[in-house]
Amino acid sequence: MDPKKKKKKCKPSIRRKNIKACYLTSTKSQVPTKPVFIKPKKKKSFFIFLKILQMESSQANLTCQNLPRILSSFVDTFVDFSASGGLFLPPPTHSSSNNQTVFPPPTRLIAIGDLHGDFQKTKEAFKLAGLINESDKWCGGSTTVVQIGDVLDRGGEELKILYFLEKLKREALKVNGNVITMNGNHEIMNVDFDFRYVTKEGLQEFQDWAMWYCVGNHMKMLCDGVSVVQDLFDGIPFEFRGVKPDVFDGIRTRIAALRPKGPIAERFLAKNQTVIVVGDSVFVHGGLLVKHVEYGFENVNEEVKDWICGLKGRVSRDLVRGRDSVVWLRKFSNELEKDCDCSTLEHVLATIPGAKRMIMGHTIQESGINGVCGNKAIRIDVGMSKGCTNGLPEVLEIDRDKGLRILTSNPLYQNGKEGSLDAKPKDGLGLVLPELGPKQVEVEA
């Protein structure tokens, strides 16, 4: 999404250059640091400890030899439960999809746009597509889901969404489903210390997570044989020039969590892809040019992943920075088709074997999900987050039998007002109103 086009809420004065300069200086001089402890908003009852310990110990015979491993697993589960707002993550299932770039065409494919820290709208979007039940558990069977990126910024429940998506990934894999998450420009910005669009609520959520994370580390230190990671705040200064003092602690915590090789960056963002192909659809947050295709999608994903994991000092500007990078491009995102570069889009798609369309987020479509350039460009960012335009949730469905459809909670599409996604739109607009030819299916959220 374009940070300049829309008025956003709760934007603290946070300058990336000052933050990055302070951080880089402190890592060289090894400024002494200490954890920031924030009192949690809600105290957890003791039965939670007992339940988690019972879950962990029941999966293995408790002996002196394996006690450190079981204790470590218990502590990690407890920290996840506390930081995620009460989610128990299923045991991880081995999957090669984290390193996969090209996927075969599924029977049913759902594409979900930018979420920006709005947990409620996130769940509504998944319910629109029939992917989760009333208990927020996966019920989508073998459906493949692609979330196009931009979970971070503009809202105060970013971590809840990251944990929720991880939970759904694990639940879906058990029934041959797949949830694929992608990097947007706001994931890249946060790893790169650009916090201009972080909210105060978002800073507080990360501070609460850090408190639980540090508590977990102290619990592990009580048992010999349990490996403990280094100080979460190692090398991070206590203040930043040009940044308001009341957000110092929040900024320190966010840097600690999201810097390259940071716990949240490595655990969640490093699992994201930056470009993927699913069947005959290419997914990317901003857009692709021929130079990106020639560089190779596998190379793009690997380079971004290595940078997030701290294995690579820098990542190419052409990939993640600048208006022509894959997460910032807008050549195919203007709502008026006459302002989109359809000839370049056709040329790009022609260089990707089997590709019929490019599906992207990044730029808010006030008219809802729509297509231009003969539906070769499908734009799915509807600004659903309250931190953006508070748009109504919509998702794109590509079904082997039903074709392309938009699932929406928009009341304009009641009483059977439907058309075909392949209908020719008028006046260069994409799928806006029923008379302009969209295929809209109303689903109650």
186 assigned to active site: yes
Structure tokens at 316: 């190419």
Cα 360 to Cα 357: distance, rounded to the nearest angstrom = 10
Tokens of 254: 């966010």
CA separation, residue 399 to residues 107, 207, 243 (Å): 6, 42, 49
The burial class, CB within 10 Å (0-12 / 13-18 / 19+), for 235 is buried
Contacts of residue 333, Cβ cutoff 8 Å, sequence gap at least 6: 286, 287, 340, 360, 362, 363, 377, 379
* CA torsion through residues 214, 50, 268, 197, sign: negative
Other Cβ atoms closer than 10 A to 91: 10
As a whole number of angstroms, the distance between CA 424 and CA 426 comes to: 7
**Distance separating alpha carbons of residues 417 and 129, to the nearest angstrom:** 19
Distance separating alpha carbons of residues 267 and 263, to the nearest angstrom: 6
Phi, psi of 56 (to 5 degrees): -70, -45
Q: Collapsing DSSP states into helix, strand and coil, what is residue 399? A: strand
Per annotation, catalytic residue among 186, 285, 292, 362: 186
**Residues assigned a catalytic role:** 186
